[in-house]
A and B are shown apart, each in its own frame.
Chain A
Amino acid sequence: MKTDNTMPLEYKTEQSRLNIFGFWIFLGAEIMLFGTLFASYFTLEGRTGSGPTGAEIFEITPVLVETFLLLTSSFTIGLGVHAMRIANKKAMLAFFSITLILGLGFLGFEIFEFIHYVHEGAGLQASAFTSILLTTLGTHGAHVTFGLFWGLFIILQVKKRGLTPETANKSFIFSLYWHFLDVVWIFIFSFIYLKGMM
């Protein structure tokens, strides 16, 4: 296997460079996916039928907590990748674990928020607005859930196998994914919650 020692560990082999490049293309597809959801959201946001409007159901507190948790987790995974670059396995594992715990906290609040919506009569079936709201939030939440498992597997692998070109590559790609979810959340926060509450 060809290795290039001038590159960081996660870029060392040809296959790992391909993996990272391929994942960027995948993120391009993900942008289209969320872009479609946002476009549909803007189309349907005023079509509340007999259900509630956004202003009636959105609450700022849980949303702010979620935002805080997810943005912090994006910072900690950045620290984790930095620790990986300077080959500090222990610090890396610690930061990755903190990231996942923050992600879990985010998910907990989001589930709480969903229960709240259903109690307010904003279930999936209530109106076109609630359908697209829950689908957009749910798609993001499902991505976070998937990421929690993925991140857990990576932590286990780094723990067992150490920092090799393969595990470093996986960790780096996971960090790209996690940052991406954060970017999507910023759009959700601005264009769904803030816009809806104004």
Chain B
Amino acid sequence: MDFFDRFAIPHPSPIIYASMVAIGLTVIAIVAGLTYFKKWGYLWREWITTVDHKRIGIMYLLSALLMLFRGGVDALMMRAQTAVPENTLLEAQHYNEIFTTHGVVMIIFMAMAFIIALMNFVVPLQIGARDVAFPRLNNLSFWLYFMGAMLFNLSFVIGGSPSAGWTSYFPLAGNEFSESVGTNYYMLAIQISGIGTLMTGINFIATILKMRAPGMTLMKMPMFTWSALITNLIIVFAFPVLTVALAMGTMDRLFGSNFFTTSDGGMDMLWANLFWVWGHPEVYILILPAFGIYSEIIPTFARRNLYGYKSMVASMVLISLLSFFVWVHHFFTMGQGALVNSIFSISTMAIAVPTGIKIFNWLFTLWKGKIKITVPMLYSLGFLPIFTIGGVTGVMLGMSAADYQYHNTMFLVAHFHLVIIPGVVFAMIAGMTYWWPKMFGFMLNERIGKWTFWFIAGGTCLAFFPMFISGLDGQARRMYTYSEATGFGIWNMLSFIGALGLAAGFILIVYNVYYSTRYASRDIGDDPWDARSLEWATHNPVPEYNFAITPQVNSSEAFWDSKKNGHKLFKGPFKEIHMPNNSGMPFIMSILFFVLGFALVFSLWIVAIISLIGVFACLAHRSFEKDHGYHISVEEIEKTEAERGGAEHENR
């Protein structure tokens, strides 16, 4: 039985056993449901093998929401544990595991998936393209991400979760101090998912640079597309660094190499540097698409052009460059010396300048606008003040001398949550609500949506503002408990109440989806928000070929021009459309990657070698495969167009 001992959880608790049962029951329910309703074929043909960017986007969206709840439960457990002094709800080890998985799940598997979901759905539509440059690669990207996420979550019930923090600093993450296989899961799951993300980066750069509609020069691209372009450039330059760092960490743990050890010349700080050379640009990978979403929503509902288009682009470019030169600010206290710290302090504070330009541009867009308070707009308006508070405290942390006071306290936790939540989470919910009608053909309920906003915005403030105070008073982060004499109790209790508010908000989102699916009107037209960019110029729901005729563009708000200034978007007759075929290979290959990852986690070498050969066999198969796609005939296009919108293309 020795062989099976490795799969046991090192620190079992009733919560983990309960979740094992819950996972088992959910899997059985899904399998039974699919079999009963005879949906296996549908699932395989229409979703798993799809190369349609819209469907892949929706799959990313569902996975991101799933991970949001997974990471959210971790957050609730952390806040519950620290709500009162000397609480015994969780043990120290369990608490360590939870803050680690909370960070990884939220950053890598929730936020990344959410931005890629919206990029997938929106970008090809905004630039008037039929699909992304490499549709099948897109499917592979999704499945690698998904299998990485599943592998990571498996650690919870098989073998034990990682517990060295989401930054996984060595030597703590080395074999000596992290004995369980948890950190192996960390290294391999993020690696697999990261390969998928890198491919997404390549795919979208090629798509945006090479597949724009005629007339859409770079400076006429919608702002979300601009943000996606820059984000993907950062992905392509930052993710290989993570790939190398994770590979080194894996080798240290599995093969006894000495990259980050404390003996035989190993250098633990090399990990910290490599991690943050990726990790800081990663922050901007998350925030720039969010800025892009706000730059779409604010002009739409302020009913004005975006103020300062060129400075918006320039500030994003500047942010992306600076993002590679600030990484040391994550460890000012680790002994680089005053000169190095000063340089990184200045570059860090410099980022506030382009960010400030963006904030003012949004404010000037609102100025004298005829503002319509819809749910997406509400999130955008809430973002501005809360994000500014989070950002300004970031400048405080960026001053290296002062950072010795704030470092590793709850002040830092408050800071980065108050930029990430209003920055990324608000933007993702706003973007989801905004593009929901394009995705699913109905709108989310506005009344429930507004209630949700107040729960989430209020919950965010209540959960994180008290941490500024307890952090300045000296409460360290990542400590599972504290004594009553410290006086931190009241602030942590307030945080816990705020976290409950956030949880209520997220449950309301689910209720809203349910409610709107049942009761919302399906008769909303193609352009329910009276919006400005090309994605609203096609039908609702979007046909598989996106646009029957490739649109002609002459400004950054081509669709608005077509509505207000008589610009003709669609010229010429229908032509036959070439489409790519679906493929099951990316899914099979991702499963093999999953098996490979799992085998490496537990050092099952034979399984690992077999699955690795399988991966290469898939690549070889792809090399020899002949796949010319298929064509949609003019008659079929005419039929679809007549069904979805009559002859409106001719009217435009």
18 interchain pairs, CB-CB under 8 A: A21-B133, A25-B205, A32-B237, A32-B240, A36-B240, A36-B277, A44-B270, A47-B267, A49-B258, A50-B264, A51-B264, A126-B258, A126-B264, A128-B258, A131-B251, A132-B259, A135-B251, A150-B623
Q: Shortest beta-carbon distance, B609 to chain A, in Å?
A: 14
Q: Shortest beta-carbon distance, B537 to chain A, in Å?
A: 23
Q: Is the CB of A18 within 8 A of B265?
A: no
> Which 6 pairs of residues, A with B, have the shortest CB-CB distance?
A47-B265, A49-B264, A128-B265, A49-B265, A32-B240, A33-B240
Contact residues in B for A48 (Cβ distance below 8 Å): 265
Q: Shortest beta-carbon distance, B623 to chain A, in Å?
A: 5
Q: Is the CB of B263 within 8 A of A40?
A: no
Q: Is the CB of A22 within 8 A of B134?
A: yes
User: Could you tell me which B residues sit within 8 Å of A by CB distance?
Assistant: 133-134, 198, 201-203, 205-206, 209-211, 236-241, 243-245, 247-248, 251, 255-259, 261, 263-267, 270, 274, 277, 578, 616, 620, 623-624, 626, 628
Interface digits, A18-43 against B, CB 8 Å rule (1 contact, 0 not)? 11011001101110110111001001
Q: Could you say which of B209, B211, B255 contacts A124, with CB atoms under 8 Å apart?
A: B255
- Knowing A22-B133, A135-B251, the reply to whether A33 touches B578 (Cβ < 8 A) is no
Q: Shortest beta-carbon distance, A153 to chain B, in Å?
A: 5
Q: Could you say which of B210, B236, B248, B264 contacts A29, with CB atoms under 8 Å apart?
A: B236
Q: Is the CB of A40 within 8 A of B259?
A: yes
Contact residues in B for A29 (Cβ distance below 8 Å): 198, 201-202, 236-237, 239-240
How far is A18 from B129 in the complex, measured between Cα atoms in Å? 13
Interface digits, A122-166 against B, CB 8 Å rule (1 contact, 0 not)? 001111111110010000000000000110011011000000001
Contact residues in B for A198 (Cβ distance below 8 Å): none
> Is A1 on the interface with B (CB-CB < 8 A)?
yes
Q: Shortest beta-carbon distance, A145 to chain B, in Å?
A: 10
Contact residues in B for A90 (Cβ distance below 8 Å): none
Q: Is the CB of B236 within 8 A of A149?
A: no
- Knowing A18-B133, A44-B265, the reply to whether A26 touches B258 (Cβ < 8 A) is no
Contact residues in B for A195 (Cβ distance below 8 Å): none
Q: Could you say which of B198, B264, B578, B628 contacts A128, with CB atoms under 8 Å apart?
A: B264
Q: Is the CB of A131 within 8 A of B236?
A: no
Q: Is the CB of A49 within 8 A of B263?
A: yes
Q: Is the CB of A36 within 8 A of B257?
A: no
How far is A49 from B255 in the complex, measured between Cα atoms in Å? 18
- Knowing A32-B241, A36-B241, the reply to whether A26 touches B202 (Cβ < 8 A) is yes
Chain B residue, CB-CB nearest to A125: B256
User: Could you tell me which A residues sit within 8 Å of B by CB distance?
Assistant: 1, 17-19, 21-22, 25-26, 28-30, 32-33, 35-37, 40, 43-44, 47-51, 124-132, 135, 149-150, 153-154, 156-157, 166, 170
Q: Is the CB of B202 within 8 A of A127?
A: no
How far is A32 from B194 in the complex, measured between Cα atoms in Å? 14
How far is A127 from B205 in the complex, measured between Cα atoms in Å? 40
Q: Is the CB of A128 within 8 A of B237?
A: no
Q: Is the CB of B266 within 8 A of A47?
A: yes
Q: Is the CB of A25 within 8 A of B258?
A: no
Q: Is the CB of A129 within 8 A of B202?
A: no
Q: Could you say which of A129, A154, A170 contacts B265, with CB atoms under 8 Å apart?
A: A129
- Knowing A21-B206, A22-B202, the reply to whether A131 touches B259 (Cβ < 8 A) is yes
Other A-B pairs, 14, CB within 8 Å; known A21-B210, A44-B267: A25-B206, A32-B241, A36-B241, A44-B259, A49-B264, A51-B264, A124-B257, A125-B258, A127-B264, A128-B266, A128-B267, A131-B248, A150-B623, A166-B626
How far is A43 from B628 in the complex, measured between Cα atoms in Å? 48
- Knowing A18-B133, A128-B265, A153-B620, the reply to whether A33 touches B244 (Cβ < 8 A) is yes
How far is A21 from B206 in the complex, measured between Cα atoms in Å? 7
Q: Shortest beta-carbon distance, A12 to chain B, in Å?
A: 14
Chain B residue, CB-CB nearest to A45: B265
Q: Shortest beta-carbon distance, A175 to chain B, in Å?
A: 15
Chain A residue, CB-CB nearest to B277: A36
How far is A166 from B629 in the complex, measured between Cα atoms in Å? 13
Chain A residue, CB-CB nearest to B261: A128
Q: Is the CB of B251 within 8 A of A124?
A: yes
How far is A36 from B209 in the complex, measured between Cα atoms in Å? 27
Of A21, A29, A132, most B-chain CB atoms within 10 Å: A29
Q: Is the CB of A36 within 8 A of B267?
A: no
Q: Is the CB of A149 within 8 A of B620?
A: yes
Q: Is the CB of A22 within 8 A of B267?
A: no
- Knowing A44-B265, A47-B267, the reply to whether A25 touches B236 (Cβ < 8 A) is yes
Contact residues in A for B257 (Cβ distance below 8 Å): 124-125, 131, 135
Q: Is the CB of A125 within 8 A of B236?
A: no
Contact residues in B for A135 (Cβ distance below 8 Å): 247-248, 251, 257
Q: Is the CB of A36 within 8 A of B258?
A: no
Q: Shortest beta-carbon distance, B550 to chain A, in Å?
A: 12
Contact residues in B for A132 (Cβ distance below 8 Å): 259
How far is A150 from B247 in the complex, measured between Cα atoms in Å? 23
Q: Shortest beta-carbon distance, A41 to chain B, in Å?
A: 11
Contact residues in A for B251 (Cβ distance below 8 Å): 124, 131, 135
Contact residues in A for B236 (Cβ distance below 8 Å): 25, 28-29, 32
Q: Could you say which of A30, A36, A125, A126 contacts B274, with CB atoms under 8 Å apart?
A: A36
Q: Shortest beta-carbon distance, B522 to chain A, in Å?
A: 36
How far is A129 from B623 in the complex, measured between Cα atoms in Å? 37
Chain A residue, CB-CB nearest to B278: A36
Contact residues in B for A37 (Cβ distance below 8 Å): 244
Contact residues in A for B616 (Cβ distance below 8 Å): 149
Q: Shortest beta-carbon distance, A134 to chain B, in Å?
A: 8
Contact residues in B for A150 (Cβ distance below 8 Å): 623
- Knowing A25-B205, A131-B258, the reply to whether A157 touches B241 (Cβ < 8 A) is no
Chain B residue, CB-CB nearest to A25: B202
Contact residues in B for A51 (Cβ distance below 8 Å): 264-265
Q: Shortest beta-carbon distance, A182 to chain B, in Å?
A: 19
How far is A49 from B267 in the complex, measured between Cα atoms in Å? 11
Contact residues in A for B205 (Cβ distance below 8 Å): 22, 25
Q: Shortest beta-carbon distance, B51 to chain A, in Å?
A: 13
Q: Is the CB of B623 within 8 A of A153?
A: yes
Q: Is the CB of A40 within 8 A of B265?
A: no
How far is A153 from B623 in the complex, measured between Cα atoms in Å? 7
Q: Could you say which of B245, B265, B626 contacts A127, with CB atoms under 8 Å apart?
A: B265
How far is A150 from B206 in the complex, measured between Cα atoms in Å? 23
How far is A135 from B266 in the complex, measured between Cα atoms in Å? 14
Chain A residue, CB-CB nearest to B260: A128
How far is A156 from B624 in the complex, measured between Cα atoms in Å? 9
How far is A85 from B263 in the complex, measured between Cα atoms in Å? 55
Contact residues in B for A18 (Cβ distance below 8 Å): 133-134, 206, 210-211
Q: Is the CB of B255 within 8 A of A125?
A: yes
Q: Is the CB of B270 within 8 A of A40?
A: yes
Contact residues in B for A125 (Cβ distance below 8 Å): 255-258, 264
Q: Is the CB of A128 within 8 A of B209?
A: no
Chain A residue, CB-CB nearest to B620: A153
Q: Shortest beta-carbon distance, A150 to chain B, in Å?
A: 7
Chain A residue, CB-CB nearest to B202: A25
Q: Shortest beta-carbon distance, B580 to chain A, in Å?
A: 9
Q: Shortest beta-carbon distance, B254 to chain A, in Å?
A: 11
Contact residues in B for A154 (Cβ distance below 8 Å): 623
How far is A30 from B236 in the complex, measured between Cα atoms in Å? 9
Q: Is the CB of B256 within 8 A of A43?
A: no
Contact residues in A for B238 (Cβ distance below 8 Å): 32
How far is A154 from B622 in the complex, measured between Cα atoms in Å? 12
Q: Is the CB of A17 within 8 A of B210?
A: yes
Contact residues in B for A50 (Cβ distance below 8 Å): 264
How far is A40 from B265 in the complex, measured between Cα atoms in Å? 13
How far is A190 from B202 in the complex, measured between Cα atoms in Å? 30
Q: Shortest beta-carbon distance, A10 to chain B, in Å?
A: 16
